[in-house]
Structure formats: C-alpha cells, structure tokens
C-alpha cells in the first residue's frame, strides 16, 4: 500500500464561478495488481450485488449524493434520464445482468468506490 496524498486540481474561473463546491482531487498511485486484489474485488462486487436489488435501485434517487449528481447533470444541460449518472449506469447494469460484472482490477475498484460512497471516481493511466 502507498501513502499517496491527494492534491486539489486546478479549475477554470468559469467552473469555479458556476460550481463553487465542485472540486477535483488527484491522487497518483502505482499500479501493482495482484491476484489477491482481483479476487477480493470480485468477491466484494458479489456481496454488493446481493445487497443491492430492485427496491434499493428505486430508492437510490432519494439519497443525497445521487440526487445531487442528477441535479448537477440538469444544471449542465444533460437529461439524467438520457445521459445516465455514474451511479445510475452501474445500478442499471445490476438490474440488467443480475450482478455487477467484473471488468478488470481498476474498473472494479472504481465501481466498488462508487457503490459504497455514491461518489463517482475516475482513473487514468499516466503512461
């Protein structure tokens, strides 16, 4: 495990003006995949799929963070019914496939973070 520190990324004046509470944090960590990590994430996705079913999906719009992201999409001119928020897309996958599909180490870690916090997390390979 690394002791990586998060740093606040710069944003344009327009973004800061229109969305004063919107921030982007950047953390750089080495990619050291292990078989154990992949197995643990797959198990975690399975447990999350067991815990999250139709009723939870229907009620998720009442939760503060998903509701805020839908409002943000609307403010940006996006229809959240057409352009799904990250949590909506993942929950739609759960309903369509009956599970959360494993898509690889990084994607699975991002999906777990999203499901557990409601906050979308992105990752990019710096190479």
**Residue-range domain boundaries for the chain:** 34-117
Q: Taking 70 as the threshold, does the pLDDT of residue 78 lie above it?
A: yes
Which of 75, 77, 67, 65 lies closest to 117, judged by CA? 65
Q: Taking 60 as the threshold, does the pLDDT of residue 88 lie above it?
A: yes
Q: Taking 90 as the threshold, does the pLDDT of residue 119 lie above it?
A: no
CA end-to-end span of the chain, whole Å? Answer: 20
Which of 50, 10, 6 lies closest to 29, judged by CA? 6
Query: Over the stretch 101-114, which tens digit does the pLDDT of each residue have?
Result: 988 888 888 999 99
Highest-confidence segment of 17-21, 56-60, 96-100, 117-121: 96-100
The chain-wide mean pLDDT, for the chain, equals 85
Say what the pTM is: 0.72
Provide the pLDDT for residue 91.
93
């Amino acid at each position: 495990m690394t002791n990586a520190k998060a740093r606040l990324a710069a944003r344009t004046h327009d973004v800061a003006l229109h969305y004063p509470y919107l921030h982007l944090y950047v953390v750089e960590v080495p990619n050291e995949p292990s078989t154990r990590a992949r197995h643990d994430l797959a198990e975690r996705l399975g447990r999350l799929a067991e815990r999250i079913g139709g009723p939870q999906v229907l009620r998720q719009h009442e939760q503060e963070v998903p509701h805020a992201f839908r409002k943000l999409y609307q403010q940006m001119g996006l229809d959240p019914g057409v352009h799904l928020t990250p949590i909506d897309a993942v929950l739609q996958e759960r309903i369509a496939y009956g599970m959360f599909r494993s898509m690889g180490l990084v994607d699975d870690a991002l999906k777990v973070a999203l499901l557990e916090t409601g906050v979308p997390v992105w990752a990019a390979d710096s190479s």
